[in-house]
Each structure stands twice: as structure tokens, then as C-alpha cells.
Chain A
Amino acid sequence: MKSQRISPALKVVAFIAAIFVALPLLSIFVRVPWSDLGHMLSQKSTRDALLISLQTSVIAALLSCLFGVPLAWFLARSSTKWLSVLRVICITPMVLPPVVGGIALLTAFGRQGIVGQYLYDWFNISLPFTRTAVVMAQVFVAMPFLVLAVEAAFRQSDKGLEEAARTMGASPSRVFFTVALPAARPAVIAGIALAWARSLGEFGASITFAGSFPGRTQTLPMAVYELVSVDYRLSLVLSLVLIFISIAVLAAMRDRWLAGR
């Protein structure tokens, strides 16, 4: 297909925009100490941060799926008059500064928190500054991405098929698992990938609610942040790892987001 003519002025502006995004990323590639890469990646502190990041982000993505898919189904099919309010609340973390999310989690689940004080008094459970807190912060920030993607798929799916299943004797939960969920499967997979990528990059909410303790709660983004002033070269290496993971997620999702037309 012949491409549409684009005015030269717009081309220049578009080029500037693309360069603005590409240049900082390329700079990391240029400055990374490639010769020391293997050595730096094998350091204990690096491996710890990488492992904690992978472990917490995978758990956060799975929890986001486990709780987010039913939430998306409810948002797509319920007719309660509070639906729009509920939807706004559920997706607020997407636009909230993550550090505010961390404060909110502390207020709810901290030792003096609305729920946290009882968890501590009654069960001696203290959530802040634990690896569980890292996962909670990641779920808080990442789940809305999955919910939005999956809710859209549920809304677009054919209600007629669900009705047919009902008339064939299927209970509402059977309809969900055998008809609605298979139809939304591509969106669920995309939502999990999106939630995982967002969890992996999570920084503000996690560092506020879980702190940055090496070997315990320090994830890759936290390590990068702390290393900038101490070991700039190592922070570049860790940044490179995160860039590679981001590119891998985009490549895996290319049919969904990168389809040119």
C-alpha cells in the first residue's frame, strides 16, 4: 500500500520526538562497561536484586491475574449503580504517583495502619519492610493494567454465547470458566505480561512500603537508584538488564501493540 504523504514539518517534529526517546536508551548501550559485564552481573548484590525482582514480580503478576480477572469480569458484567465509582477507584493506581501508593499502603497495612494494627496486635504480623510488602506494592500498582485490558475483552466478547451456555444448563461460574474466560484468553495473557512488566519496574510504592534492604526487599530498580551515586558503572549494567527485559516484553506482545496497521 502506498504510504500517505506526510508534510516535511511534521516529519521533523516526529523525528525529534523519536530521538528524544531513543537517545537516552542508546546512551546506556554506549556507556555500559561491556568488558566487565559478566563480572558485574555475577556479583552477589546484583544477583540478589535480580532474583528478588524476578521472584516478586512473577508472584505479583500471578496474584494480579488471580484477583484482577474476577474484578474485570465484575466490572464488565455487573449492573450496580456504583460501577463507575468502583472502576475509578480500581484504576486510580495507574495515574497515582507510585510514592503516594506506598504511603497509602503504609496507612492501611503499616503497624499503625487501619488494618495493619490489628494484624500486628492479634496475629503478630507486620507487613511493611518485608518481601511480602514488595509484592503488595507491585500488585497495587500493576493490577489495574491487567483489569483494564481484560475488562475491555469481556465487554467485547459475545454475550450470546454466554446466554446459550446458560440455556444449556451451565451455572454462572461454569459460563465464566468455559465460555467467557477462553474468549478473553489473549487479553488475559497480555494483561499478565503488562502487569509483570509494570511490577518489575515498580519503584516508588515498593521503596516507600517495603524499603530498600539488600538481599531482602531491594529490587533491581531500587538497586539502580542507590548505585547511581556509589557505583555508576554497575547501575548502568542493571539498567541495561531492565531495558532488555522491557524490550523482550514488547517483542512478545508485538502483535498486540506494535502492529503498524
Chain B
Amino acid sequence: MKLLVCFKIVADLDQLTPKDYVVEEKINIDTSFVKTTINCFDESGLEFGLRLSDEAEGLNLHIEKSALTIGNSQTELYLKSLNALCYDHTIRIDSGDYDIRFKPDAVGKAIVDYAEKNQQDLIIMGRQSSEGNNFSTPQVVAEQLGTGFIPNVVDIHMMDEHRLKITTDNNGNIYEQTVKTPVVVSVGNAVISKLRVPTLRDRMKYGSKEIEQFPLRLEDKSLAGKVRSLEYVDKSRSGQVIEQKGSEAVHVLYEDYLKRRLDNI
């Protein structure tokens, strides 16, 4: 079975303060000074890839695992880690100066281009990422490849070479489905969220393994809506702080702020 996991490297937006949200030229917000991380839904996807590979071994099957990202050269650090975690292929599509934040069509097309040249049985993708909140790329890929599509995936297990047991969360209802490949799955709030850490030995062993490069083919026409403006949303309330601590603070909180409200409930 050939498996492709697509992931995105994103800025940790929790590190930004309200003052950092300055909308610059080209409707950009500078996040270059905060640390980056693997998009949380994609991180689950990458770990699913490794776990499926472990399960396949137990079934005497082999999974050829690939991990692909679209981004600048900074993403190679993450791809090296994935090499050390024994992904068979790590691929970077260089986005250069092209702004992919609100371009799920372009991102999807780039993945489709790769998957058409390198046929896959299973493509795992996170359902959304923080910046663009597009919620679109897995569907674009599935539709353009003409494969099956499973949304809101929370767990995946190997059944045999052509079938998977997939658990989905459909608005709170949990379903178990037997799904035939080829298929694209979109990972939501998954049961596993952390990607394992490679050993130092594997880092040394696979550190120099090649990261494959794949070209980004840009198209003029996009179906995705065009962003006209961005504006920071101020969510602040009165923000009163009780000066006391411990039991005394609780007493003040109750007497001065909560008692009347609780009485009215």
C-alpha cells in the first residue's frame, strides 16, 4: 500500500499578542518571529501514518510512506525528522514567495500533481489549519483525483492491503466504517495527537537522507473566494481583577460579583 501524508508547518499563533496583529501590505500579518509547529490535525495524520505502518508489519504487509509539505526551506527541518522516523519519502514543494494562506485550490492542485505522478492508495490530510481556516484542501484533492473521501476521521486501522477500518465523528455520533482504497481522509479531533520523537541514533542514521523536491505549478483561476481585507477582532471584556488571594478572593468574588447573578438564575 502506498500512503501519502500531507502536512503544513504553521506559526504558533498562541504566542502572538493583540498588538502583533498588524495587517501589512498584501493583506499580510507578520508571524515570522514566533516559533513554528506542525499543524495539529496534520500531526495526528503523520502519527497515523507510522502506526498504520506498524500494523501493516504485523499483517505481513508493507506500507510505502511518504510525507509531503508545501513551504519554504525552513520546513526541511521537519522533513528531516520525518526521515528519521522512517518515512520512505519526504517531499517539499517550494512555495517560494507565493502566498498560500487563502489558496486551498493551489495547494490541493500541487498535491494532486504529485499524487498523479506517484499513485497513492491512501492520502491522509488534516482538515484545516489555523491561518487560512480554509477547511478545503482534502476535498479539493479527493474531488480532483476522483477518489473516495472520508471526513472527520478520528482513528484509522489497517484491515488488509485494500481496506481500512476508519472511525469518524459525525457531529458527535461515532461511526466505524470499512473503507476501500484509494481514498483521501480528512483528520479531525483524532484519538492520537502527538507525533513520536525519533531516536538520536535514527537522526544520525537518516539525517543526510535526501528530501525530494517537487515543483509548484501555479494556475491563474481559483474557485476559492478572494480576500479583500483582514481585521483583528478585539474580544476584551471589562477584565476586572480581584486583588485578594485564596479564600478571601473567593469570598469577594461571590459577594461582589456572583451572588446577585446566581440568585437570578
Q: Do A and B bind each other?
A: no
Interface residues of A (CB under 8 A from B): none
